[in-house]
Amino acid sequence: MADSPALSIGFLLFPGVTQLDLTWPYEVFVRAPGAQVHLIWKDLAPVNADRGLAILPTVTLAECPALDVICVPGGPGQIDLMDDDEVLDFLRQKAKEVKLVTSVCTGSLVLGAAGLLQGYKATTHWGSLDQLALLGAQPVEERVVHDGNRISGAGVTSGIDFALTVVAGLYGDAVAQEIQLQLEYDPAPPFNAGSPRSAAPELLQAVRLKQASFVEKRRQATQRAAAKL
């Protein structure tokens, strides 16, 4: 679809977002021909990501233009969003209008809290993958999952793979491959420890223990959201 009209893509930007969940796919999308990319929040004040980086919204929820793609990134702030009726109502409304409803990392749990993943296959960060089932989704342990007009990316680094998949579907493989080359996206990690499938068992156990209390806090938010569906 290289000759298609310019597309409007919106990211939900929120306090406590993991910035790479947003900025990696953002970097891909802004390179798509004619794409207009919006960073959406309740107001236009700087928003602090989970590690302190400040990001400026470009439009408010109330003034958000028509979108072709809506994307919800993840991060610790996702927990508060699952109880935020203003945000969830916004997502429900946009889901009726857009071509694609998408997420990166635990952003899929926010989509699930809005009731937008019921019956759909989806993915999220490996540490919380099972929680998708509480929201009526079908958890899939894959880097990018595409089901109907829902596309979700797994943990943080999957954002590039996710965005290239979206661009390929909207513009064609040639455009996506050109962007991949521009970004020199040719990963060769120094360690084979980036997935529960490849990490050493003792490392995986140590990380699970370190994250356990926070994952439980997230699970409680997921259970509250599930009770409202």
Domain harbouring 107, CATH code:
3.40.50.880
The model's pLDDT over 103-130, given as tens digits with 9 standing for 90+, comes to 999 999 999 999 999 999 999 999 999 9
Q: Check pLDDT > 50 for residue 2.
A: no
Backbone angles phi, psi at 139, to 5 degrees: -65, 135
Stretch 203-217: mean pLDDT: 97
Q: In this prediction, what percent of the chain has a pLDDT beyond 70?
A: 98
Q: Average pLDDT in the 49-56 region?
A: 98
What does the alpha-carbon distance between residue 14 and residue 187 come to, in Å, rounded to a whole number?
28
Average pLDDT, integer, range 153-163:
97
Q: pTM for the complete prediction?
A: 0.96
User: What whole-number distance in Å separates Cα of residue 35 and Cα of residue 97?
Assistant: 17
Q: What are the tens digits of pLDDT across the range 173-195?
A: 999 999 999 999 999 999 999 99
Per-residue pLDDT band for 1 (boundaries 50, 70, 90) equals very low
DSSP 133: G
Residues with active-site annotation: 105
In a domain, 106, yes or no: yes
- 8 A C-beta contact, residue 69 and residue 166: yes
In a domain, 15, yes or no: yes
> In the predicted model, is pLDDT for residue 57 greater than 60?
yes
* 176 in any annotated domain: yes
156 belongs to a structural domain = yes
Looking at the chain, list the stretches that DSSP marks H as alpha helix, in order from N- to C-terminal side: 19-29, 78-81, 85-95, 107-113, 158-171, 173-182, 201-228
Q: Is residue 182 part of a domain?
A: yes
Q: Which domain holds residue 177?
A: 8-228
**pLDDT for the residue numbered 3:** 55
Q: Three-class SS of residue 29?
A: helix
Domain contains 1: no
Number of domains in the chain: 1
Cα 192 to Cα 170: distance, rounded to the nearest angstrom: 32
Mean pLDDT for 68-72 is 98
pLDDT exceeds 80 at position 5: no
Residues 77, 157, 213, CA angle at the centre, nearest 5°?
40
Is position 174 within any domain?
yes
Residue 2 lies in a domain: no
